[in-house]
Structure 1
Amino acid sequence: MSARTAPRSTGSGPPTRKGVATRQRIVEGAAREIREAGVFALRLEDVMARTATSKSQLFHYFPGGKDELLLAVARFEAARVLDDQQPELGALTSREAWLRWRDKVLARYRAQGVDCPLHVALSQPGTATGAGRTVATELLGQWRRQLAAGIRHLRDGGAIAAGLDAEREAAALLAGIQGGVLILMTTGSTDHLEAALDSGLARLGLTED
């Protein structure tokens, strides 16, 4: 079961299908509240109203209250970052596939604009802890591994330079993307993100002629 859907254990046995669905409804409802109103305006009462859940239900799944819910939203949004890049991210086996992935990443962040629910959730005091860092580390680790797998596939097949270090190139590309996203959140412009993507693909020898 993924981090997106796994409910918190309450010590009363495995979660039921209904319990999983209820918890997921609360998480997704809170995520929509954050996108629409911002995290600082997030109230548990609004989440309960949006998701048709009671206070006892919300605290059953999130006994830590708002901080615990924000962390669950962060995990949900982290999973969406990778899901929104599929199937291209998981099949970077050709130059064309890399270019389609590049276009999908740009389209995602252009549509998102300056609002990044994942960044907002992780930046809050309740999640800016070891748990919050774990969410970010998991996301970046999974993202880097899939990029590295694509680089290795092309390198081992002779499509790109044999001497490229797949892990290091994936890390550099990912760092460029994240830098571009942070600038986007500050300025509203995707120019730096586009430049980072194009420079990374050029280094791999994958840019368009």
Structure 2
Amino acid sequence: MRALTPKGAATRQRIVEGAAKLIRDHGPANVGLDDIRAATATSKSQLFHYFPDGKADMLLAVAAHEAELVLDEQQPYLGDLTSWAQWEAWRDRVIARYAAQRRRCPLSALTAQLGLADPAVEGIITGMYSRWQAQIAAGVRAVRPDADAERVATQLIGAITGGATMLVATDDIRYLEIGLTEAIENLRRGAPGAGSSLR
């Protein structure tokens, strides 16, 4: 993407945020560029200035935006998992986020639309998971220095994403609530295997 002035970057971000809201509400397949132009009060020439390849560029930008939100909405707890109280607050924040969106997972919808075979999409998703795992692993090291932090972080993310998948399939938040709560409790107890995977 070409370098933007601060004003240009702000305008592009405003368009992306407006498009993201539309896509969350209606799904990527049901939102066109005309809808985005109307919702963001953007001219056609302005839209193509920031997104030269049209909807494909726009969806990619929205996917990157939504990936950032996945992590941003877990703060400040995700970045400060230094006590069990912070772990519990983080768990509650994660569950509340998914309970609010229920079956409407914008990032899943976007990746389904764009396809993970696209290297740009794959880069957005793998980058998000890498940063997510690193922050959880740092928290594991803070409260259980005897644990295999990377492995525990992988298990915790698996509990969240597995629960989120079941939420989309069944509209039942309990899979996420129980899976994440049990994973954290296992870590706290120092249970080998499913929890802290002690060395």
With structure 1 as the length reference, what TM-score do the two structures score? 0.87
Which of residues 172, 175, 178 in structure 2 aligns to 1:195? 178
Unaligned runs of 5+ in 2: 191-199
Cα 1:34–1:206 shift into 2, 3 Å = farther
1:62 matched to which residue of 2? Answer: 51
Q: What is the CA-CA distance between 1:128 and the residue it aligns to?
A: 4.7
CA distance in 2 between partners of 1:16 and 1:81 (Å):
27
Q: What is the CA-CA distance between 1:26 and the residue it aligns to?
A: 1.1
1:178 matched to which residue of 2? Answer: 161
Alignment partner of 1:165 is 2:169: no
Alignment partner of 1:104 is 2:97: no
Report the aligned-residue RMSD.
1.5
Which of residues 35, 58, 63 in structure 1 aligns to 2:24? 35
CA distance in 1 between partners of 2:166 and 2:54 (Å):
32
Unaligned runs of 5+ in 1: 1-7, 157-161
Q: Is 1:59–1:65's contact at 8 Å kept on the other side of the alignment? A: yes
Q: What is the CA-CA distance between 1:123 and the residue it aligns to?
A: 1.1
CA distance in 1 between partners of 2:54 and 2:117 (Å):
16
**Larger helix fraction of residues:** 2
CA distance in 2 between partners of 1:206 and 1:138 (Å):
31
SS at match of 2:175: helix
Q: What is the CA-CA distance between 1:199 and the residue it aligns to?
A: 1.7
SS at match of 1:53: coil
Give 1:39-188 correspondences, 5 Å limit.
Answer: 39-125=28-114, 128-156=117-145, 162=146, 164-188=147-171
Q: Is 2:59–2:114's contact at 8 Å kept on the other side of the alignment? A: no
Amino acid at match of 2:175: H
CA distance in 2 between partners of 1:79 and 1:194 (Å):
23
Q: Is 1:70–1:127's contact at 8 Å kept on the other side of the alignment? A: no
Amino acid at match of 1:89: L
Cα 1:98–1:131 shift into 2, 3 Å = same
Q: What is the CA-CA distance between 1:206 and the residue it aligns to?
A: 6.1
Q: Is 1:67–1:126's contact at 8 Å kept on the other side of the alignment? A: no
Cα 1:60–1:198 shift into 2, 3 Å = same
Cα 1:72–1:206 shift into 2, 3 Å = farther
Cα 1:206–1:83 shift into 2, 3 Å = farther
2:193 matched to which residue of 1? Answer: none
CA distance in 1 between partners of 2:92 and 2:54 (Å):
38
CA distance in 1 between partners of 2:77 and 2:149 (Å):
18
Aligned pair count reads 190
Q: What is the CA-CA distance between 1:155 and the residue it aligns to?
A: 2.2
